Amino acid sequence: MFTTIYPQLIGLCTGTLLLTSALMVWRHSLLASIRLLSVQGFALAALVAVIGLEEGEVEVILVSLLVLLVKGMGLPWVLARETHATTRTDEAPRLNPTAALLTVALLTILSYVVASRVLAGDISISAHAAPIGLAMVLIGFLLLVTRRQAGSQLIGFLVLDNGIATVAFLTSGGVPLFLELGISLDVLLVVVILYVFAGRMRTKFGNTEIDQLRKLHD
């Protein structure tokens, strides 16, 4: 029974991952992006759980719980606390919404072209969904390049990290529990450090907009 619905569940999870990534590019509100990041974390955890159930691997299911706690709940909570302390949660990206969504579409097409060549010999269902992870990596880079505030750029970094994790789970059936634990703790540590750094920037300069801070440096 589960094998029958496995392709649909993989499609639902990866579709949610791609949709939330695209919406982060479209939305200019930092709080909205954090909520979407939380949804993306839940979708990634669900994807890992589906793979674990299909393969009958208890360790992969435990990893899905870890992903849920860290990426679906922990990281968004840390970001939300920092964001609520700011007076400005909207920003004007370097790309307008239409150009940004067009870029997302082109990056997604590029991901499918590249992945079709790299994974040409793998006919599994999960491998066919791997281009979604690559697209998330490219969208994360897009957020890093086009956003002006440090918080939004941090979200781009986390989308990139989620994309790498998505590719890893879809192509290899997951990573060992202790390796995922180490990676998740490293990412959490980076976010906490950047959270403290952004707070000091806001206290000293009044905001965390990169362009204005660059002008102060000049």
Report the C-alpha gap between 48 and 58 in whole angstroms. 11
pLDDT in tens, 76-120: 888 887 666 554 555 666 778 888 899 999 999 999 998 888 776
Report the C-alpha gap between 147 and 9 in whole angstroms. 32
Instruction: Give the residue extent of every domain in the chain.
Output: 2-210
Taking the model in full, what pTM does it have? Answer: 0.80
**Which two three-digit tokens encode residue 109?**
């097409």
**Per-residue pLDDT of the chain in tens (218 residues, 90 and over written 9):** 567 888 899 999 999 999 999 999 988 788 889 999 999 999 999 999 998 888 888 888 888 898 899 889 988 888 887 666 554 555 666 778 888 899 999 999 999 998 888 776 666 777 788 899 999 999 999 998 888 777 788 888 889 889 988 888 888 755 554 455 555 556 666 666 556 555 555 555 555 455 444 544 44
